[in-house]
Structure formats: C-alpha cells, structure tokens
Amino acid sequence: MNELEAVSRITELTVQLNKYNYHYYVLSESLISDQQFDLLLKELERLEHEFPHLAAIDSPTKKVGGEVTKEFKSVKHKYPMLSLGNTYSEEDLIEFDNRIKKSIGEHFQYVAELKFDGLAISLTYVKGKLERAVTRGDGVQGDDVTANVKTIKSIPHQLSPGNYPDEFEIRGEIFMHKRTFEKLNDKLRKELELKGLDEEEIAEKLYKNPRNFASGTLKQQDSKEVAKRPLDAFLYFLYSDIPVADNHHDSLKIASSWGFQVSDHYRLCPKIDDVIQFIKEYELERKNLGYEIDGVVIKVNNYLQQEELGFTAKTPRWAISFKYKTERAVTLLQKVTYQVGRTGAITPVANLTPVLLAGTTVKRASLYNADEIERLDLHEHDVVFVEKGGEIIPKIVGVDLLQRKADAARVTYITHCPECDTLLQRKEGDALHYCPNENGCKPQLKGKIEHFIGRKAMNIDSLGAETVSGLFDKGLIANYSDLYELNKEVLLNLEFEVGDDDEKKKRSLKEKSVQNILDGIEASKKVPFERVLFAMGIRLVGETVARKLAQHFQNMEALQHADLATINNIHEIGEKIAGNVYHFFRDERNRAIVDKLKRHGLQMSIVEEEGVVRSSKLGGKSFLVSGVFTISRDEMKKIIELNGGRLVSAVSGKLDYLVAGDKMGPEKLKKANDLGVRIISESELKEMLN
C-alpha cells in the first residue's frame, strides 16, 4: 500500500471506528460485532505502525478499550473522597454509639440524613464560580465531568454575592428522579423496539434503575446528550480551609443559604434513640419521595469532635451509614404463565397471590427465562420471596423450602407456544425460547399490526392497540394489509375489550373516531417507501436499514427480486439481516400482503422530491460538507448524493471537494488547504450542477 492509499484507508477506518464507538458507548447500541470491531481496529493499528507519521493523536487505537470515560481528565481530590462503614441493625448502631462515647464522652449530637442512591460528586467553587466537578473515582482521583454537571439545573454555576470563602469544596450526590427514569426508559424501549431489537436485547440495553441511568448519563462525552436526561443533585458536605461553621448542621443551613440544594430531610439527634426514630420514620416515608434512597447517614455534628474521632484507613470514625434492607414480601406462587411478544420471544411470568410491597400491590413477577426457573428450582405452589430491588418489575429472589409440600411438582418449562401450540425453539447461546410460527401466532400477528401503525412507521395514530386487537379477534383483519379494506360500517359495529385481565370493559367506536381512523389509514398511503419498508416489520430491519434498502433498490419490485448476495453486499447490511429480508420475500403469504399494499396505492418506490434533480454530474467525486448554508446540511448532502457525488466525513488527501459554509471549523479548513483539497462554496456547488 502506498502512502496515499494509507491516508485514505486510515481516514476511512477512523471515521468508522469512531462511529461504532459513539454508538456503543453513548447510544448503547452495537452496529457490528466485537469481533468485527477488533478486526478494523487491528487493521488501523497495523497501518499506523507502518506509517507512524499518519497516526493521529486522537486515533481510536489510542483509547483504552475504546472507553469514552477514559477521555475525561483525571483530577486528584484535594480532600480524599472516603466511603462510609455500613450497618444494618439497631444493635450495630448502638455499638457504633458506644464506640463514640468511649472515645469522646457523652456530650455530643448526631445529624441523621438520608443516604441518596446516586453518584458522589465533588464541586469546587472559586470566588463563587463553579470551577470543577469531579466524580469520586477511586477516592483519590476522579473524572472531571464539569461540562456534564453544568447541565444540572439545581447546581449553581455562579453564586450570588455572599459570605462564602474564596475557595471551597461542596460534596453531594447526583441522582435521577424516579419519574424521569421511568419516562426515559420507556422512550428508550420504544426506540429499541422500532429498531427491531428483540425482547432479550432490549432488556439488556434498558437501564436497570435510576442510579444506573444517572451514572450512564454522567459518563457521556456529549453534554448535549446529558442535558436531554435531566439529573438532579443534593449537596451534603462542605470542605473549606477557612471554617464557615463549627458543626455540620449549621454548615448544611449555610450551604443552603448560598444557593445550594440541600435536602430538607435531616435532623439533629441528641441521642442514638433519636437516630433510630428517624430511621424508622423514613423507612415508611421513603416510598413517598420522588427519588431513591438506600439508607440513612449518621454523622457526629461537631467538627472538633469529628477531628478527635478521626479516620480508619477507608472510613471516618465519626460517621456511618444505616442501610435499609431491600423490601421483601412473602407470597404464594399460583401459577406460571407465558407471554408471547411481537418477535415470538417467550417470557415466563409468575402469577402471585396479591401482596403489598414497597407501596404497591404485586400480582406478577418476571421469571425472565427457563434458566431462571431452573436456578430458583421453582415448584408448583411454592411460597416465594419477592423483592423490588433497584428494578421496577418485582422479581422472585428465593423460595421458602420449609413450606414446600413433599409432593409438589417442579415447574417445567413449556415446550409448545401457549397461544398457537407450535413447538418452541431455543437457539444455542440464546436465553430465550421463541415461537417460530410468526405467520400464525396471534400475539405475534397482532404485534406486527401494532408495529405497522406506529408513529415512526405508517403513523396511523387514530388506531389504538385495543382496536387492532378487537378487529383481529373478530376476524376483520388478519394482517396489516387488511387495514386498507376496512370501512365505516365495520368499524361502527365493532365491539372490543379494554383494560387488563383483572378488569375488562366493553367498548365501541364513536362516529368521529371511526372517521379519524379511516382518515389516518388514507393518509398513510402517502408515507414514503422507506417507512413502508420499515413498517412491514421484517426482523432486524429498523429505520436505518429500511432507508438503506430503499435507497439501494429504489423500489419494492427490485428489492423483492434481489438475490441474497446482492442484499448482503450493501454496505453495513450483515448476513443475518440480508437473510431475513431475502426469506421474507420468498414466503408467499408475505408476497400476497405486499401485493395487497400495492393494490391499495401505498408508496412502493422512492419518490424524487420536487426541485431535486437526479443526475450523474458529480460523477463519483467525494465531497465533505461543513459549516452553515442557506439550505440545511442534510438537504445539501441529499443533493450531492442524488447527483452522483459521494459523501465522506473527514478531510483527507483523497477528498475531492470541501464544500465550505459559514462558521466552519478553522482546523478543517487548514487541513484541507494543507492537503491541497479543492474548497468550494455553496454557489460553486450549484454551478457544478447547472
């Protein structure tokens, strides 16, 4: 390989690897397998070894394991960030109290406060301005996450003038409110579903609890992303070389008066019994808080007494945490049922005698998969322990063996689909069982129709899941193509059920809703081809893949008749997806559905937008678009592609044209100049097209 070729390949690999890293670490999605990633990385390493002067300082080969967090600056803490000793019982606390009395006598007080379940943060303020926010790290040094922390609304960037020291440090906990967590995780689930991921993959990618989500968020490199996932913070400890108070309780009040968010839930406790009282109160009250706590922190109030007590190697002797036991309920397993998802994935569910746990009634618990049932060695009518843990869906953590009847039978996993009786399959290395009967299994069929009408697909939002279910159950639709044969009369006469298994109600549609549904169905005929393709629900064909297929084949006819190799040869379309697409069209039932969609006038080919001309004027030349133009960058890119240009995302010696707009980065411009790349303006590009 000569040097010119090396430049081009290195650029190409760098762009690709950076993209994969970004998707993996920031968007939590893998575009390629680890093995494929390593192959590309090795190739880049080899080239950089051969042409060392071409190796960029920020090359993906230089990031340890590609971990984005490694890119945060590491900062040494002025005062080490210690952890606390844990206690779990009243006896432990009384022992702690006795140790303290032995050391400093009887005259002291405690402050009891909540132990927030988040991530510790240390904020440094200089002359009232937030200078630095550093994570705990290993306690000695942590990551500088200032840009991310600045997105947290309750953390002041600049304090109003006040009586604070020129420099001080304040520590606290960053966390995510429970409601924010639920909302964002739901959103993430929907996005993953639309991308075609199956249940197991989704479960892996969803955040397990608010703490986990907060920590994933704080580690993001792009603070714009962080701002989209609102975090919050409580501050609970002040460090300053010049003392501002002689005790912790006053410090909390003072910190609050400077503009910091200090929790209202703390209390001065003269005796350990008062601490125990506080702990008991909050054991009940915690479910009413909008955020998670996992215990109570107890600190000796007076600073001189804290100093006298000192530290052990890892923890202060003047403070301790009391951890609440994870709430646990005991109940009876009534039966195990099995749910079938859109993709055919089977999820076993434990149906329980209703029991109150952490403020809600629990009737069901997820059993995840066959391995979990085996791990628990679950038997029929077992007395089980249920916990909520950090997760929202309760889970069974154990079985009370003493209460198991001698003749109780072991719960055996089903072999056939509970809905259609097809023999289930379990692929090697897969934890889940699947029902392979995708064209004959009710919940899978209904799920496909629901996916079809979804917002990012055909966007028939006037039609809900319950109406779809009703239409399906009454035999009025068997697949999504039948939606186009519905009429007013059928819809007005439809009776369907709403609500869950425990409380079902009968409903019918009003004239206005019927009209909305019919209008929505009609409007969907204008939805572009690429979205029709996505809506069809071919496994693993998410939005991006659908767009690629549409662009490559231009119309349904060509895609339908494409051979496997042709589909597989499209850039970034792997074997698995290509196989799914190919086999989808070999199935005559699918072909009949597509034919019906065609007959009803859905978009079956890419439609050129008005005013955009297709030509080969740019004849395979490469273009990079940078800066601000009179049209959006996306439009500009589209015009280039439609006229035969190729888009690249980095400046290299091989780049033919850099289209430079306003406010483009000076470094890029310089690099292009140095490499002798032709730099053109928006109007020069337009001239090339005329």
User: Is 115 a catalytic site residue?
Assistant: yes
Q: Binders of ligand IVH among 421-480, rule CB under 6 A? A: none
Is-contact 356 388, C-beta < 8 A?
Answer: no
Candidate list 13, 17, 84, 556; residue touching ligand IVH; CB under 6 A: 84
Q: Counting Cβ atoms within 10 Å, is residue 309 exposed (0-12), middle (13-18) or buried (19+)?
A: middle
SS3 annotation, 168-217: EEEEEEEECCHHHHHHHHHHHHHHHHHCCCCHHHHHHHCCCCHHHHHHHH
Question: Regarding beta strands 328-340 and 657-660, do their DSSP bridges make them parallel or antiparallel, or are they unpaired?
Answer: unpaired
- Of the pair 96, 236, the CB lying nearest ligand IVH is at 236
Candidate list 116, 213, 368, 472; residue touching ligand IVH; CB under 6 A: 116
Neighbours of 396 (CB within 10 A): 22
Q: Which of 328, 326, 263, 331 is nearest to 297 (CA)?
A: 263
CB of 119 to ligand IVH, least distance (A): 7
Question: Regarding beta strands 293-300 and 319-323, do their DSSP bridges make them parallel or antiparallel, or are they unpaired?
Answer: antiparallel
- Of the pair 120, 184, the CB lying nearest ligand IVH is at 120
Candidate list 31, 82, 399, 498; residue touching ligand IVH; CB under 6 A: 82
- Of the pair 316, 528, the CB lying nearest ligand IVH is at 316
CA distances from 505 to 316, 472, 494 (A): 59, 17, 14
Distance CA 477, CA 468 (A): 8
In whole angstroms, what separates CA 408 from the centre of its chain? Answer: 41
- Of the pair 35, 312, the CB lying nearest ligand IVH is at 312
For position 235 contacting ligand IVH by CB under 6 A, the verdict is: no
Beta bridge partners of 82: none
Catalytic residue among 19, 115, 205, 405: 115
CB of 83 to ligand IVH, least distance (A): 4
Candidate list 173, 199, 232, 382; residue touching ligand IVH; CB under 6 A: 173
CB of 139 to ligand IVH, least distance (A): 9
- Of the pair 113, 450, the CB lying nearest ligand IVH is at 113
Which residue's Cβ has the minimum distance to ligand IVH? Answer: 120
**Single-letter code of the amino acid located at 448:** K
Q: Binders of ligand IVH among 306-345, rule CB under 6 A? A: 316, 319, 321
Candidate list 17, 100, 120, 123; residue touching ligand IVH; CB under 6 A: 120
In whole angstroms, what separates CA 581 from the centre of its chain? Answer: 27
Q: Say how many residues make up the chain.
A: 690
CB of 299 to ligand IVH, least distance (A): 7
Q: Would you give the binding string for ligand IVH spanning residues 591-620, x where CB under 6 A is met? A: ------------------------------
Beta bridge partners of 351: 335, 364
Total number of residues that touch ligand IVH (CB under 6 A): 15
Q: Binders of ligand IVH among 258-297, rule CB under 6 A? A: 297
CB of 72 to ligand IVH, least distance (A): 18
Distance CA 414, CA 408 (A): 18
CB of 279 to ligand IVH, least distance (A): 13
DSSP output for 595-618? HHHHHTT---BPPPPTTPPP--TT
Task: Just list the catalytic residues.
Answer: 115
Residues that bind ligand IVH (CB under 6 A): 82-84, 113-116, 120, 173, 236-237, 297, 316, 319, 321
